Structures are given as structure tokens and as C-alpha cells.
């Protein structure tokens, strides 16, 4: 079965510490990969996608095809980074579900002062 795994339900770090939110996927081919973020009382929004290779709010994510991972990293966490983070692959050729986002279970990041 095609799926995405975010092994940490909760990740708690101190301000200024590095943070890595893990994401592994099991898809054949080359899926498009996204990270979505949901801040408290805000709507779900795109953080970044691997194809753009951007750094957004200091976050980066590298696609590692060998490990089938798309971990999200930031060298120095800030309190405002506290949120729920979802890894979400989209497989362009996944049968009838072409183009669907499949959300991982999410990791709640808590950055303490």
C-alpha cells in the first residue's frame, strides 16, 4: 500500500535548537512531495514543496530517493514555528487517485522559550 509515515507525533525543542521532522514515503515512481503547516487557529497552508527547492521561513526539505525520505529541517527553531506539520506526497500517476494529496498523521512541533 502506498503510504506516508511521520514517526513522531510530538517533537519538543528549545528555541534556537535545530529541528528535524521526519517523513518517509512508500510510493513507486517519483511522487511530488509537500509539507503543509497548520498554526494554531489558522488554516492549513503550504510550507514548501520539493520541486521548488526553496527555503521557507528557514525550513528546507531534501528528497532522498534512496531512503524514500523528505525530512523537514531548520537549523534554529523559533517559538513561532510551533504548529502541526503534515508531510503530503502527491502521486501523479496513482490510478484513479491521480494528483491526490495523502497526508501523513502529522507531527506537532513545540518550540519552548
Partner 1 sequence: DTEVTQTPKHLVMGMTNKKSLKCEQHMGHRAMYWYKQKAKKPPELMFVYSYEKLSINESVPSRFSPECPNSSLLNLHLHALQPEDSALYLCASSQGRDNEQFFGPGTRLTVL
In the window 19-38, what residues touch partner 1 (CB under 8 A)?
Answer: 32, 34
| Residue 103 engages partner 1 in binding (rule: CB under 8 A) | yes
Total count of residues recorded for the chain: 113
Q: How far is the CB of 76 from partner 1 (least distance, A)?
A: 26
Among 28, 43, 66, 67, binds partner 1 (CB under 8 A): 43
**Backbone φ and ψ of 3, nearest 5°:** -155, 170
| Residue 11 engages partner 1 in binding (rule: CB under 8 A) | no
In the window 62-101, what residues touch partner 1 (CB under 8 A)?
Answer: 86, 90, 92, 96-101
Distance CA 62, CA 95 (A): 26
Neighbour count for residue 23 (Cβ, 10 Å): 25
Nearer to partner 1 (CB atom), residue 8 or residue 32:
32
Question: In angstroms, what CA-CA distances link 33 with 21, 65, 105?
Answer: 14, 11, 15
Strand 107-112 versus strand 10-14 pairing type: parallel
Q: How far is the CB of 40 from partner 1 (least distance, A)?
A: 13
Distance CA 10, CA 7 (A): 9
Nearer to partner 1 (CB atom), residue 41 or residue 113:
41
Query: Contact residues for partner 1 (CB under 8 A)?
Result: 32, 34, 43-46, 49, 86, 90, 92, 96-106
Amino acid at each position: 500500500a502506498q503510504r506516508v509515515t511521520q514517526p513522531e507525533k510530538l517533537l519538543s525543542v528549545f528555541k534556537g535548537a535545530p529541528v528535524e521532522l521526519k517523513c518517509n514515503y512508500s510510493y513507486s515512481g517519483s511522487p511530488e512531495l509537500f509539507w503543509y503547516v497548520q498554526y494554531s487557529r489558522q488554516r492549513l497552508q503550504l510550507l514548501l514543496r520539493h520541486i521548488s527547492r526553496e527555503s521557507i521561513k528557514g525550513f528546507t526539505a531534501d528528497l532522498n530517493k534512496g531512503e524514500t525520505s523528505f525530512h523537514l529541517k531548520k537549523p534554529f527553531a523559533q517559538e513561532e514555528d510551533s504548529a502541526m506539520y503534515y508531510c503530503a506526497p502527491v502521486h501523479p500517476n496513482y490510478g484513479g487517485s491521480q494528483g491526490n494529496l495523502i497526508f501523513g498523521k502529522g507531527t506537532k512541533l513545540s518550540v519552548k522559550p
